[in-house]
Amino acid sequence: MSKMIDKELQQEVDKRRTFAIISHPDAGKTTLTEKLLLFGGAIRLAGTVKARKASKHATSDWMEIEKQRGISVTSSVMQFDYNGHRINILDTPGHQDFSEDTYRTLTAADAAVMLIDVAKGVEAQTIKLFKVCAQRGIPIFTFINKLDREGRSPFDLMEELEQVLGIRSVPMNWPIGMGRELCGVYDRMKNQVELFQGDDHSTIEVRKVEDYRDPLIKEMAGDFLYEQLGQDVELLDVAGDPFDYEKVLKGELTPIFFGSAINNFGLQTFLENFLELAPKPEPRRSTEGMIEPTNEKFSGYVFKIQANMNPAHRDRIAFLRIVSGKFERGMSVKHVRVGKDIKLAQPQQFLAQDRDIVQTAYPGDIIGLFDPGIFRIGDSLSEGSSIVFDELPTFSPEIFAKVTAKNALKYKQYQKGIDQLTEEGTIQVFNTVSFDDTILGVVGQLQFEVFEYRMRNEYGVEVQLQRMPFQFARWIVAENLDPSKFRINSTLVKDKKGNYVVLFENEYAMRTAMEKNPDAQFLQTAP
């Protein structure tokens, strides 16, 4: 039976854009986020961007901040309106608070903005985050930042995107000069120039031009830059990839924009193009096929659980990405894994000092649900049915440590703590096959510190962590597994579900093991 799609729901879906900004620390993500919020006059922001900045101190400070604020500064969703759109920016923490949560958050985004420093190009953290986005096949938009500084040639950067990330690119605009010489960008798609004027480049003016040969450009940029622009654009026209929207949507081609976040250069055109090109909330796969956002029944899944760092308030917040239907405060939904109906009474759309109670929300939005310990990462909630969304991927940890309780008598609390923190996704736990040692795996060092802190404060257990030299984990799928084959610079362990995993000390050991076991599959995420 074909149902009439609710008009209001359709409109709300159409206007939404949910994305994450991925970058290496210092590329300017905080600055860009702040500027974007200013364009829209943010209506909901989780912990002001400045407050988040404060979290970039030493870990001990970070703990203090978490405690004071009662809720994590690392978890935020910012929402604002612009030109009839409602935009959700998912924060992906950088620096030392980089963790698996960062990866999981990306699963809730429908598009990514990849922010790159013009002088530094593609950096380590950009690569990691890009890979997760690429695996999902979401569209990726590139913003090359800090054009007000001397940087690398745009052609060089395009080449790097292809060599390092394996993605081809199509410049939507092109810088006219760079650093002190920067006078604007030429918009290839709309035939206009955006001029950055004034000594401090504080004025921005948009002018229509015939094309890149327009005398107007010569007038404002001077002969040299005008010639340079002509040559560059001609080369792009001849040798560059044409704009292909299908490829953009599949994440096979990234549109590039140039600008300077701190000076507001190129930001408005970037935002407007992005909103036009970025997808609206996408359907998600489930046991009942693809669930379309316009499906009237409310549904969503938990992609992150944030514990309250304040021991006086043990409650947790479960972050739910709405997949379909309309959310209304107080509604009853089915918690599918548990098989019970629950009432969503106090959802928070943003988490900051002043928590805000949400009345309604739509697909693409993220709501924070009060969690007295009933949710796990990946849980599905749905109205009147038992939809189960695809499991979230488990990401390969990169740092490992053997864990033991300092006081063996506390074994029960110790085990409980490990179980619960694993469930929340704070750590991944592995057991060695031979000695039944417990090895923890994390993506960022901070996860260990949070683990130790929470074991002490919430479970009353002092733990000892002994760093292990492993760098990679691969889930092994094989007919007959011979543990003796994984001894050199590697060790065979089992994950929580009993899957075999091999931990490797270095790439060489990993490659050797792959060569020795040609019939086995080595997976980067749990099967």
Residue 200 annotated as part of some ligand binding site = no
266 is an interface residue for ligand GDP by CB under 6 A: no
Q: What is the DSSP string of 256-285?
A: EEE-BGGGTBTHHHHHHHHHHHS--SPPEE
| Minimal distance, residue 150 CB to ligand GDP, in Å | 10
Report how far apart, in Å, the C-alpha atoms of 351 and of each of 212, 316, 487 are. Answer: 47, 12, 46
In the range 282-311, which residues lie near ligand GDP by CB under 6 A? Answer: none
**Residue 17 binds to ligand GDP (criterion: CB under 6 A):** no
Tell me whether residue 97 or residue 282 sits nearer to ligand GDP (CB atom).
97
**Nearest residue to 189 (alpha-carbon basis) of 124, 263, 249, 256:** 256
Binding ligand GDP (rule: CB under 6 A), the pick from 18, 23, 102, 428 is 23
Q: How far apart are CA 266 and CA 186, in angstroms?
A: 10
CB nearer to ligand GDP: give 67 or 120.
Answer: 120
Residue 30 interacting with ligand GDP (CB under 6 A): yes
Q: From the CB of residue 371, how many other CB atoms can be counted at a distance below 10 Å?
A: 21
Residues 73-108: b if buried by 16+ CB within 10 A, e if exposed: bbbbbbbbebeebbbbbbbbbbbbbbbbbbbbbbbb
Q: Is 179 in the site for ligand GDP (CB under 6 A)?
A: no
Q: Are 349 and 365 in contact (CB under 8 A)?
A: yes
Instruction: Tell me how far, at minimum, the Cβ of 27 lies from ligand GDP, in Å.
Output: 5
Which range, of 20-28, 75-83, 204-212, 372-380, touches ligand GDP by CB under 6 A? 20-28
Residue with tokens 């899957």: 499
The footprint of ligand GDP on this chain (CB under 6 A) covers a number of residues equal to 17
Quick check: 94 binds ligand GDP (CB under 6 A)? Answer: yes
Residue 76 touching ligand GDP (CB under 6 A): no
Span of 1-9, 29-37, 400-408, 482-490 interacting with ligand GDP by CB under 6 A: 29-37
Min dist CB 284 to ligand GDP, Å, is 29
Residues shown for the chain: 527
> How many CB atoms sit inside 10 A of residue 174's CB?
19
> CB-wise, 248 or 261, nearer to ligand GDP?
261
Pick from 27, 221, 229, 256 the residue near ligand GDP by CB under 6 A.
27
Angle at 246 between CA 240 and CA 247, to 5 degrees: 45
According to the annotation, is 146 in a ligand binding site? yes
Taking CB under 6 A as the criterion, the residue among 79, 107, 126, 260 binding ligand GDP is 260
Which span (122-130, 157-165, 257-265, 390-398) binds ligand GDP, by CB under 6 A? 257-265
Residue 322 is a binding residue for ligand GDP (CB under 6 A) = no
The DSSP line for 297-364 is S-EEEEEEEEE-S-TT---EEEEEEEEES-EETT-EEEETTTTEEEE--S-EEE-SSS-EE-SEE-TT
Our measurement of the distance from residue 180's CA atom to the centroid of its chain's CA atoms, rounded to an integer in Å, reads 33
Position 113, amino acid: V
Q: State which residue, 260 or 490, has the beta carbon closest to ligand GDP.
A: 260
User: Is position 24 annotated in a ligand binding site?
Assistant: yes
Residue 262 in the binding site for ligand GDP (CB under 6 A): yes
Question: Residue 26 interacts with ligand GDP (CB under 6 A)?
Answer: yes
Least CB distance to ligand GDP at residue 414 (A): 37
Please identify, among the stretches 80-88, 230-238, 256-264, 385-393, the one whose residues bind ligand GDP according to the rule CB under 6 A. 256-264
CA 112 – CA 139 distance, rounded (Å): 6
Whole-angstrom distance, CA of residue 223 vs CA of residue 483: 69
Rounded to the nearest whole angstrom, what is the least distance from the CB of residue 17 to ligand GDP in the complex? 21
145 marked among binding-site residues? yes
Q: Which long-range contacts (CB under 8 A, 24 or more apart) does 236-245 make?
A: 236/171, 236/174, 236/188, 240/170, 240/171, 241/168, 241/169, 241/170, 242/170, 243/170, 243/172, 243/189, 244/170, 245/277
Which residues sit opposite 307 in a β-bridge?
316
Closest CB to ligand GDP among residues 28, 425: 28
**Closest CB to ligand GDP among 55 and 299?**
55
DSSP state of 389: B
- Distance separating the N- and C-terminal Cα atoms of the chain: 36
Kindly state the smallest distance separating residue 215's Cβ from ligand GDP, in Å. Answer: 29
Residue 90 found at the interface with ligand GDP (CB under 6 A):
no
Binding pattern to ligand GDP, positions 136-175, x when CB under 6 A?
---------xx-xx--------------------------
23 is in an annotated binding site: yes
Q: Enter the tokens of residue 473.
A: 């984990």
Residue 25 CB, nearest approach to ligand GDP (Å): 4
CB of 259 to ligand GDP, least distance (A): 7
Q: Is the dihedral of CA 117, 120, 126, 131 positive or negative?
A: positive
Q: Among 28, 184, 325, 364, which residue interacts with ligand GDP (rule: CB under 6 A)?
A: 28
On whether 237 is known to bind a ligand per the annotation, the reply is: no
Residues 6+ apart with CB under 8 A from 113: 19, 20, 21, 22, 32, 140, 141, 142, 143, 274
Contact residues for ligand GDP, defined by CB under 6 A: 23, 25-31, 94, 145-146, 148-149, 260-263
Residues at the binding site for GTP are 23-30, 91-95, 145-148
